[in-house]
Amino acid sequence: MNGKSICAVFFDLDGTLIDSAPDLIDAMHRLRAELGEPTIAMDKVGMVVSKGGRAMLRAGFPGIAEARMETLLPRYLDLYAEQIAKHTRTFDGIDAVLANFDARPLPWGIVTNKPEHLARRVVAELGLAARSAALVGGDTLAKRKPDPEPLLHAALLANVDAAHSVYVGDDARDIEAGRAAGMRTVAAGWGYLDGEDPREWGADIVVARPQDLIPALGLD
């Protein structure tokens, strides 16, 4: 990519900017304990974080009925919110990438399917809120990714041109949304891939590590 033509970079949140799986897994353990369910391995929960709360509940309660899942989802999110940033951290290399953007300055923002109030809270806890040019959550608008509207809204909030922006994400829906919004897309190979090959998503670039983003975007 030509770094000189990039006016902003937007990121998915869970699995791209932050490693939130430990706290989401912990909330699942607490939910099962609250319901009197036995302890089970939670590896699968961590693998599907980028696919949302329902996917995590399906992994944390194998064979769960859809109706029960919908009933449990609010409580699961409440338990998660109680300790939303106990173990959550930015991925190794992300802090340096964001510092590079801030120094240029190059605006960056967040577009996630996580409920906005949870996204804002964890971003604030990690000290990123004041630095982000835009944050759009999964319930900010009537539509969510893979629809492009949240990305276009983020570009509007950041006062940048979507056609000269980049979207970075660790799920096929991220790449689909970015392409539909007219943005250039980067598949985050360090995310919660659940065995998927990000090279199959049709992204402009696949990046294995956060620290590789700067040269991949032509910003070195």
Cβ neighbors of 197 (< 8 A, separation 6 or more) are none
In the DSSP assignment, the letter for residue 185 is E
Outline where the chain has alpha helix (H): 21-34, 43-47, 53-60, 66-82, 94-103, 116-125, 149-158, 172-180, 213-216
Closest CA to 97 of 11, 21, 195, 198: 11
- What is the sign, positive or negative, of the torsion defined by CA atoms of 118, 122, 123, 129? positive
Q: Which of 12, 19, 23, 171 is catalytic?
A: 12
Whether residue 210 has a cis bond before it, omega within 30° of 0 = no
212 is catalytic: no
Rounded CA Rg of the chain? 17
Q: Which residues are catalytic?
A: 12
